Chains A and B, each alone.
Chain A
Amino acid sequence: MPAYRERVVRFGMGEGLVGVLAMPSQPAAPAAPFVVLINSGLIHRVGPSRLHVLLARDLAAAGLGVLRFDLSGIGDSERQADAMPLQAAVERDIVAALDFLEAKHGAERFVLAGLCSGAYDAFRVAQDDSRVASAVLLDIPGPFGGWWHVIHHLRLRALNRQSWRQPLQKLRFYGRTLRHLVLGGKAPTMARYRPGVRLPVSRQSMGEAIDALIERDVRLFFLFTAGMPGNYNHRSQFRRAFPRSARHPALTHAFLPEADHLFSTHASRSRAIQMVRDWVLRVAARSLPLALLADAALLG
């Protein structure tokens, strides 16, 4: 018998939201939290390189119910006709997922998890909904910069052979542009400069939000990759940005320098899934009889 079962679910306004619910084959403990995986950008509920599918199945096999679903207008979920601002609509959809799991499966506590924008959405909802007991925040965009970030950025550029070619590439580009302006013909193209990740919150407001969550006994796992170097490029950044919170036992932070933003390699994906599973099972164990959890990893 497989360790988990999956089925398609619909919920939310007009049942317009679509998700796949993975449940352990053995009944989960009544107090077990449900895990809810949130879209990363416009990638539908399977996640980049099936990250969400693999993580959901891993956690379900270990004894937890997991819902991965599409926000309104993404993947298979309907676009809502209302004129609600995007962030408010996203938070409404996530709360609808929690309401659905509470009504249909008696869920009382939740672990929200997401990558990039999904992490940001999870962080926002965790602040507003007291049912959220934990959050897994993968590559959350945030105010993690500082002089140490600049130093590591310069060090990485100096070590990157490609960056030494750029001055020459730029000279060629300007030459081709001049020729296009004078002689006409096909306009040159060059990869657009992509500025660093926009900062959705100030360091002060993010710090206050983290403190408030810790005060509420919400467990937080910040996991960063090297895939958004404008946001995060060294393992010390979180500790330097939020020194007091970083030491709190309710908060875990880690850096996976071998991973890119979408966990494109099998090895980085497996490593991330293992880290998230172990952490989620540890925090889930706070409210569970240990015998009901299948994976011995949480005992380690």
Chain B
Amino acid sequence: MTGFFFGASARQLFGYHHAARGRTRGGAVICPPIGREFMLAHGTLRHLARLLANAGQDVLRFDYAGTGDSAGDFETMTQPDWIADIETAISELKDLAQLERVSLIGVRYGATLAALAARGRRDVQCLVLWDPVLDGRAYLRELGIVDSQMAETIDAAGVLLRAELRDHIGAITPAVVRTGLPRMLFVLRADGDDPVASLPVAGGVPPAVIRVPGNPIWQDEMIGSAGMPLPELNLIVQHLS
């Protein structure tokens, strides 16, 4: 397990490489959520990376620019910036592990970003979307942002959000996940809506949808209060193995 900075010198991204145990069977880039959900999900995503590495995957966890340990300020970031960061992380993992293709695992808004980054890429083998943000306007409401807030930057949920980013998030609909990738897995809450069911089948193969019980970790009041969601993590490991 190695922590390091990578990417352009003016835009250093923080990453953590979990080397595959034994022979490499593939690679995965983990795309975290943002804001409070980033904080709550950190330990779980670290554990997921370890499980995947034990199962023979080379894994790169990383922070988008302006989040976590990476360079930059959150309030200057846009959605295209973070999609570009995922592309940089894909290249980094391919170089590190000498892989032709990698998988993307995204959580919440990170899942949406992963779906957008995977569009048209042949080197993304599999896309795992864990509770993706499929309704941008509802997500903005969760962040406490309403349409009437027209300022250049918006202070919400502990972050200053650029209006451009707010607009991009607000435009997210279920259709953004139609990437045409043959191996897609959705991990969704059992009691949640099912917008995926309304999507046209892409590439002739319907996406796998697995419903998991209970509240997700990013709705915890405190870090670790709900414990590690091992069933969800094991499902993802099995799917990529």
Which A residues contact B (CB, under 8 angstroms)? Answer: 6-8, 10, 18, 20, 41-46, 48-50, 53, 74-76, 262, 264-267
Contact = CB atoms under 8 A, between A and B. Distances in A.
Nearest to A51: B158
B162 to A, nearest CB: 12
A290 B1 CA distance: 41
A20 B68 CA distance: 11
Contacts of A46: 39, 68-69
B5 A8 contact: yes
Given A43-B39, A76-B46, A266-B160, A50 B223 contact: no
B78 interface: no
A265 B155 contact: yes
B42 A8 contact: no
Contact of A41 (B3, B12, B16, B223): B223
Given A41-B223, A43-B223, A76-B46, A48 B158 contact: yes
Contact of B4 (A8, A49, A50): A8
B159 interface: yes
B157 interface: yes
A8 B155 contact: no
A50 B71 CA distance: 11
Nearest to B70: A53
Contact of A266 (B1, B3, B67, B155): B155
Contacts of B1: 76
Contacts of A45: 69
B68 A42 contact: no
A76 B157 contact: no
Given A53-B68, A75-B42, A266-B155, 8 more contacts: A6-B5, A8-B5, A8-B14, A20-B3, A50-B67, A50-B68, A50-B74, A75-B46
A18 B224 CA distance: 20
A149 to B, nearest CB: 24
B151 to A, nearest CB: 12
A53 B14 CA distance: 12
4 A-B pairs with least C-beta separation: A49-B158, A8-B3, A42-B223, A264-B158
B43 interface: yes
B224 to A, nearest CB: 5
Interface string B1-30: 111110000001010100000000000000
B155 A48 contact: no
A78 to B, nearest CB: 9
Nearest to B10: A2
A76 B155 CA distance: 29
Contacts of A41: 222-223
Contacts of B39: 43-44, 46, 48
Given A8-B3, A76-B3, A266 B68 contact: no
A6 B68 CA distance: 13
B75 interface: yes
Contacts of B42: 44, 75
B154 to A, nearest CB: 10
B159 A49 contact: yes
Contacts of A18: 3
B14 to A, nearest CB: 8
Interface in B104-134: none
A266 B159 CA distance: 7
B224 A266 contact: no
Nearest to A262: B158
Nearest to B15: A8
A41 B42 CA distance: 14
